Amino acid sequence: MKRRLTWLVAFVCIAIACCEAQDGNAVGTGRLDSMQYLRNVTIYAVKPYAEVIPAQVLGGKQLEVLNSHSVADAVRYFSGIQIKDYGGVGGIKTVDMRSMGSNHMGIFYDGIQLGNAQNGQIDLGKFSLDNIEEISLYNGQKSEIFQSARDYGSAGSIYLRTKYPKFTTGKRDNLNVTMRTGSFGLANPSVRWEHKFNRHLSMSLNAEYTYATGQYHFRYRKLFSDGVVAWDTTAVRENGDIYALRLEGGLFGVTSDGKWNVKAYYYDSEKGIPGAIVNNVWKTAQRQWDRNFFTQGSFRKKVNESYQMMLKAKYARDYMRYLNPDTTLMYLDHKFWQDEIYVSSANKYTIMTDWDVNLSVDYQWNYLNSTLVNFSYPTRHTLLTALATAYKWSRLKAQASLLYTHVTDLYSSRMGDEVIDKHHNNLDKFTPAVFVSYQPWLEQDLNIRAFYKRIFRMPTFNDLYYTDIGNANLRPEYVTQWNLGIMYQFNSEEDVVKTVRLSADAYYNIVNDKIIAVPKGTGQYRWMMMNIGKVKIRGIDVSARLVMQPVASLIVDGAITYTYQRAQDYSNPADNGDGETYKGQIAYIPWHSGSATLHGAWRDVDVNYSFIYVGERYHNSANILANHEQPWYTHDISASYRFKLGKTQLKLTAEVNNLFNQQYDVIQNYPMPGRNFKFILKIDI
């Protein structure tokens, strides 16, 4: 911990010294006859969209005012999204879109996918919003053909775009320092420094440290099936502490006909795992250590009026240690190392004004090492080739793509350190997608859109090769998607109502060969992964946004989302009696969910209210009373004030989360925090 704090303090001192030195060389601009200064002006507008299926987007002011400090907190406000949150500051948070499963989501960081070949899960709680400019959610895939082949390979995608250095005239350095504190012993300082070398080259460095005890009071109440209270108690959540350091740096270059960037990312954490409250055990001792590093770069160039090219590359190294010192269950101390290499080439050619084609080729290499006994040490080679085309005719837009995927897995059968046999598995698949939108009337911004997509996800290394659990004969898990939607948008500069945006989509998804764990033999802890699952998902996503300016200094911005989902387990028709799972709503998928936000900005004051609702659901596909989970909802409010001290801009924010102290679980037996507070100071130099 001391070592991490020393790094952070040194980083802040260097950044401040560089900014002070730059300011010392600056020419004074205090004369009124040389320059006039205006108050900061916030412009609210919706960018005209050129995509066939527009994304759900949180960015700029809208992202800043939400009571959210990690990517997982922010994406809760998208329709069709479910977050699995295991509670606390450092609790694991994964995302599921339209009930297809977390492994079908692609998470892209500055255009390159975040990978985890071991278990396919990306913990969005690791990514702070301090360095995020925009979050975009795409159903199906990003409807822009000039992209890597990997972008075509997911059932849905979340794109995280980090902040790009921006400088006002005559300024070469920007420094932002943020300090958060509040409930659960939270101490969360961060610093961001941007420097412009010249008009073609700039850089940014960002560092953040998070410490929290993770201790919070919660009320826990359980009922027997006949309604009699089993227990009703108040306790303190233990073993939820976290120490985490995030370092990030980037170089950004611009040429006359292109642009490039190089980025490095490092995350180091130690945290307790509170665990589920079962069998009257209220505290666990499991701990987890993570060290994640990646460096990536991209280059984009317009060769001529007809041809553009894009190159991307990445290397990632992940380390994870899991410790369970509880010998009453099973002592575990396992370590895992993952390596990944990724390269991509995309080539777009304009055949005519309204007709483009793109050919992308990607290669990815993954390797997993572990201290597990009899481990298989798997290696995966993945080659992806995507051919896509986009065509626009009058008010009709259409895109189509065909993705070819070749996968080769290499692994060994071992007995201790002895290799018994070596194996390899090959897979070749073609998967198509078609996207269409139509604007019936030229004078009305109304669009009807539809898409079809067939895609799959490979079994993870844990699914296939985890000692005594994995099944090397697993098949890929397939998803077929149909979507039909409509969107209306209105923009005005003169009226009180500045923006109206309404969107509705109906969808039908089928997941085949779903990979699930089933009991193996009679041992309580013996399981095996199998392809026996099938899920049918029918749903509706609705969203609305309204921006108004009742008076000159007041902006009011409101948004509502609603999702209805009927996600049923069709795995085994024989399971069709009381307590069986056939046609039951799958685990943790509510029938109804939604969110609402309301933001008001008046001069230097911002006030924000947000509401999250998740309806009733079951923690098992057997939809019986014993598995029923009550609805939960939270109300969050915040207020901030901006002011200046000389040339320094400051912003003070106070937040109250879970205002009415709702006691709830997102995942059964993982109680979430009640009412909690945050206080934030931001300094811009």
pLDDT(372) > 60: yes
More reliable by pLDDT, 329 or 162 = 162
Task: Assess contact for 502 and 488: CB atoms under 8 A.
Answer: yes
Tell me the average pLDDT across 237-247.
91
- Rounded to two decimals, the pTM is 0.88
In this prediction, residues 317-334 reach a mean pLDDT of: 87
Task: Provide the phi-psi class of 553: left if phi over 0, else alpha when psi is between -120 and 50, else beta.
Answer: alpha
> What is the average pLDDT value for the chain, to the nearest integer?
85
What is the per-residue pLDDT for 576? 67
pLDDT above 50: residue 627: yes
pLDDT score of 514: 87
Residue 42: band (very low, low, confident or very high) from pLDDT cuts 50, 70, 90: very low
Residue 282, Cβ density class (10 Å: 0-12 exposed, 13-18 middle, ≥19 buried): middle
Q: Are 458 and 117 in contact (CB under 8 A)?
A: no
- What pLDDT, on the 0 to 100 scale, is given for residue 402? 97
3-state helix, strand, coil in the chain (%, to 5): 10, 60, 35
- pLDDT score for 101: 85
The residues, any chain, with a CB within 8 Å of residue 407's CB and separated by 6 or more, are 380, 381, 382, 383, 425, 426, 427, 458
pLDDT of residue 49: 52
* Residue 166 tokens, joined: 């921006």
Question: What are 542-567's pLDDT values in tens digits?
Answer: 999 999 998 888 999 999 999 999 99
- Per-residue pLDDT of 172-213, as tens digits, reads 999 999 999 999 889 999 999 999 999 899 999 999 999 999
List the structure tokens of 413.
């059968």
Give dist(CA 258, CA 309) in Å, integer. Answer: 9
Q: Which CATH class name applies to 2-25+50-684?
A: mainly beta
Arithmetic mean of pLDDT, 136-160? 92
pLDDT at 519: 63
pLDDT of residue 526: 54
Helix (H) or strand (E) holding 534: strand 527-551
279-299 mean pLDDT: 89
466 vs 153, more confident: 153
Domain ranges of the chain: 2-25+50-684
pLDDT at 577: 64
Quote the pLDDT of residue 414: 72
Per residue in 48-95, pLDDT tens? 456 788 888 888 777 887 767 778 888 888 888 888 887 767 677 888
